[in-house]
Amino acid sequence: MPVALDALVLPAFEELDPLPAAGETEPWHDAYDLAERIDVPGVPVPLRHDGAGLGVVPTGIGKAAAATTTAALCADDAVDLSDALVLSVGIAGAPPDRPIGSVVIADEIVDWDDKCRFDPGDGDGEAGGSPGDVPVAPDPYTAGQGVVDLDPDRVSAAADLAAGVDLESAAAGPDPTVTVGTNVCADELWHGRTVAEHVSRFLDALDRGPYRATEMEDAGTAAALRRFGLADRYLSVRGISNHDRPDPGESSRESFEGSLTETGLEVGLENAVRVARAVVDDRRA
């Protein structure tokens, strides 16, 4: 008999060296008694659940891993997701105007890899700049497949619940906030002012954005759910752990190496889980 879930939480990873903080699954094991296990073919580790409708399993890092894990869960008879809310919950990068520890509830997921790339200096400026400024453009052959709009009522309800959640603040800097906005997903782990500008101009060309969070799984998860007719049950809740570009006078490599601090990772994940738990517990009430 399949295990019927009310909520399925999909972190990306359990533990990940060399990150100096706990994995994305740990807060869920701390908060709920996820003692039951289900082995699902195609899922790298057992799905853990509490016997009362909550399931948690990491997808693996990257869109391919996320899509494969999600599709396996949707297809297997051992798990019934027909009435489940599916949530991606984890850390993310963001532009510098998002305080560390802020939470982004996505209203759209944009696949940054669904594009054309050209030699720098060989463009025609159609994205809004001088010729060659933006060496990327929408892919004419996939025509919107890389954008997933999330159910607006579900997103709005999650934002309302998030308004009542106390967020933990980092030791320094402005207080974190909850924002509804665009989440950009990429296979590559990028960092830098030039790439950030290209991402923004690419979104302009799609008439999307501005982006509020960047991560590596959610476009794969959303694409798999869409194939199984479950995309309207999907939420992405991301806590900002680091900024996606250096400060003036700092190189991108130096900035990246110093950006993933234990404090940022911990407060970003903690606040994402606090918001997601409010949504999950409300659904199960």
Burial of 285 (0-12, 13-18, 19+ CB in 10 A): exposed
Total residue count of the chain as it appears in this document: 285
Residue 77's alpha-carbon distances to 41, 201, 234, in angstroms, are 10, 43, 20
> Using an 8 Å Cβ cutoff, are 56 and 9 in contact?
yes
Q: What is the dihedral of CA 218, 224, 225, 226, to 10 degrees?
A: 110
* Helix residue spans in 32-132 (DSSP H): 63-75
Sequence-separated (6 or more) residues with CB below 8 Å from residue 86: 7, 8, 10, 70, 221, 225, 230, 233, 234, 235
pLDDT at residue number 130: 47
pLDDT at residue number 128: 45
pLDDT at residue number 127: 43
- The model's pTM is 0.94
> Using an 8 Å Cβ cutoff, are 57 and 34 in contact?
no
Architecture per CATH, 3-284 = 3-Layer(aba) Sandwich (3.40)
What are the sequence ranges of the domains in the chain? 3-284
DSSP state of 35: -
pLDDT at residue number 120: 80
User: What does the buried/exposed string (b/e) look like for 97-123 if buried means 16 or more CB atoms within 10 Å of the residue's CB?
Assistant: ebbbbbbbbbbbbbbbebbeeeeeeeb
- From first to last of the 285 residues of the chain, give the pLDDT tens digit: 899 999 999 999 987 776 666 799 999 999 999 999 999 999 999 999 999 999 999 999 999 999 999 999 999 999 999 999 999 999 999 999 999 999 999 999 999 999 999 988 765 544 444 445 789 999 999 988 999 999 999 999 999 999 999 999 987 779 999 999 999 999 999 999 999 999 999 999 999 999 999 999 999 999 999 999 999 999 999 999 999 999 888 999 999 888 878 889 999 999 999 999 999 999 988
> Using an 8 Å Cβ cutoff, are 83 and 38 in contact?
no
Rounded CA-CA distance 116/50 in Å is 44
Structure tokens at 78: 């051992």
Helices 218-227 and 63-75: angle between axes, nearest 10 degrees? 30
pLDDT at residue number 125: 47
Residue 247, number of CB atoms within 10 A of its CB: 10
pLDDT at residue number 21: 66
